């Protein structure tokens, strides 16, 4: 049976380089955290095939993803998809992460050279591939020196197991320190930083984005729709389509007036709120690709529509009024 995925590259799909690297990635990144438990394996495979059909080549996962199925379950789902062939692996820019506890025993977490070696080999086995395109530090490890971290990564690169390094949830000074230590070893260092970034969460504009831009990292936002708050929750309340979690309800109470103005603005410009929220990120010059985490093909299609949304200066200014952002530090809080 021919398992080759028949690609079509719609005019809406754009590609850009990941940070200062030569690696080309789609302007949307497929997040896979839901794959395994919330989204069954067959549906997960269907969504990944659909992503390729729409030109999305950038997939993100982590060794810890899997929920009640256990750490590593999501990587295993992706690995069985790659195993089907059809150039699925070759057409994918694969990013995974290391840091979280994978077992109840010392040296099975964080960024020691030993854990990086073990965790990478385990991820490659689950993913059924011999290399990872972007190997990302899921969190900063304050107990491990950068000399040790970069030595472990340098070894993995020389072995052909990884190509690029990235970070996630780093502060601006963490990025600067990591890059300084990499340069001292004549290494490329980090090419991307994954941070929470959306209209409701704009703290990274203070120092993370300036540090990333100065050091050649692409910003890859996670939770681009603030856990669903920017996807049209008030409209969903009215039509009964969405049952809000307790955490989302608390944030909705706090930000209800702003979200109401936001949803009204989205209606005024003729797009769904979720499309506007993603489009706003795509208009930010530091952003490479927001991470979308669809549980269904319909959610994937909705995210792809955001690529068609062009926001004019007036609309961007009104969004800034509804959800005030930050100037870079220290100008944000000093003269």
In a domain? residue 334 = no
- Matching residue, tokens 């780093």: 170
Instruction: Please check whether residue 223 lies inside any domain of the structure.
Output: yes
Model confidence pLDDT, tens digit, residues 156-214: 999 999 999 999 999 999 999 999 999 999 999 999 999 999 999 999 999 999 999 99
pLDDT surpasses 70 at 1: no
Percent of the chain with pLDDT over 90: 91
- Look at residue 90 and tell me whether its pLDDT is greater than 90: yes
Per-residue pLDDT of 231-256, as tens digits, reads 999 987 555 555 667 888 899 999 99
**Average of per-residue pLDDT across 78-98:** 98
Domain count across the chain: 1
Residue 129 lies in a domain: yes
Cα(230)–Cα(241) distance, integer angstroms = 15
Give the Cα separation of 193 and 153 in Å (integer).
16
C-alpha angle 193-195-245 in degrees, rounded to nearest 5: 150
Q: Is residue 9 domain-resident?
A: no
Alpha-carbon distance 74 to 38, whole Å?
Answer: 11
Q: How far is CA 289 from the centre of its chain?
A: 7
Q: How far apart are the first and last CA of the chain?
A: 66
- In the residue annotation, 65 being an active-site residue is answered as yes
Measured distance CA(256)–CA(307) in Å, rounded? 27
The CATH number of the domain holding residue 267 is 3.20.20.100
Say if 333 falls within a structural domain: no
pLDDT, one tens digit per residue, over 8-37 is 455 557 999 999 999 999 999 999 999 998
Q: Smallest Cα–Cα separation from 299: which of 271, 275, 335?
A: 275
Alpha-carbon distance 271 to 193, whole Å?
A: 29
Active-site option among 58, 65, 197, 262? 65
Q: Which of 178, 179, 97 is nearest to 138 (CA)?
A: 97
8: in domain: no
Residue 10 lies in a domain: no
**Domain membership of residue 286 as a residue range:** 15-322
Residue 335 in any domain: the answer is no
């Amino acid at each position: 049976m021919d398992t080759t995925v028949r690609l079509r590259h719609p005019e809406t799909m754009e590609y850009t380089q990941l940070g200062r690297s030569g690696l080309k990635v789609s302007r949307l990144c497929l997040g896979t955290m839901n794959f395994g438990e919330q989204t069954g394996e067959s549906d997960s495979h269907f969504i990944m095939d659909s992503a390729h059909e729409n030109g999305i080549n950038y997939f993100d996962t982590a060794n810890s993803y899997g929920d009640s199925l256990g750490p590593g379950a999501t990587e295993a789902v992706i690995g069985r998809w790659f195993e089907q062939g059809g150039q699925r692996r070759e057409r994918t820019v694969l990013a995974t992460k290391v840091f979280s506890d994978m077992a109840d025993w010392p040296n099975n977490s964080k960024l020691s050279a030993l854990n990086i070696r073990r965790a990478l080999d385990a991820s490659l086995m689950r993913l059924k591939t011999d290399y990872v395109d972007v190997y990302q530090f899921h969190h900063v490890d304050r107990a491990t020196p950068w000399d040790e971290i970069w030595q472990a990564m340098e070894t993995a690169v020389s072995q052909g197991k990884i190509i690029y390094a990235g970070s996630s949830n780093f502060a601006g000074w963490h990025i600067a320190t990591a890059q300084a230590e990499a340069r001292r070893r004549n290494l490329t260092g980090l090419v991307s930083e994954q941070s929470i970034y959306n209209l409701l969460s704009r703290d990274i504009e203070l120092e993370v984005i300036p540090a990333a831009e100065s050091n050649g990292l692409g910003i890859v936002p996670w939770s681009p729709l603030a856990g669903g708050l920017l996807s049209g929750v008030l409209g969903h309340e009215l039509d009964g389509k969405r049952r809000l979690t307790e955490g989302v309800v608390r944030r909705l109470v706090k930000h209800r007036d702003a979200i109401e103005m936001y949803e009204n603005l989205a209606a005024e410009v003729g797009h769904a709120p979720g499309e506007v929220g993603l489009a706003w990120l795509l208009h930010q010059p530091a952003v490479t690709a927001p991470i979308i985490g669809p549980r269904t093909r319909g959610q994937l299609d909705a995210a792809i529509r955001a690529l068609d949304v062009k926001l004019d200066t007036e609309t961007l200014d009104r969004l800034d009024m509804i959800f005030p952002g930050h100037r870079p530090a220290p100008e944000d809080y000093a003269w």
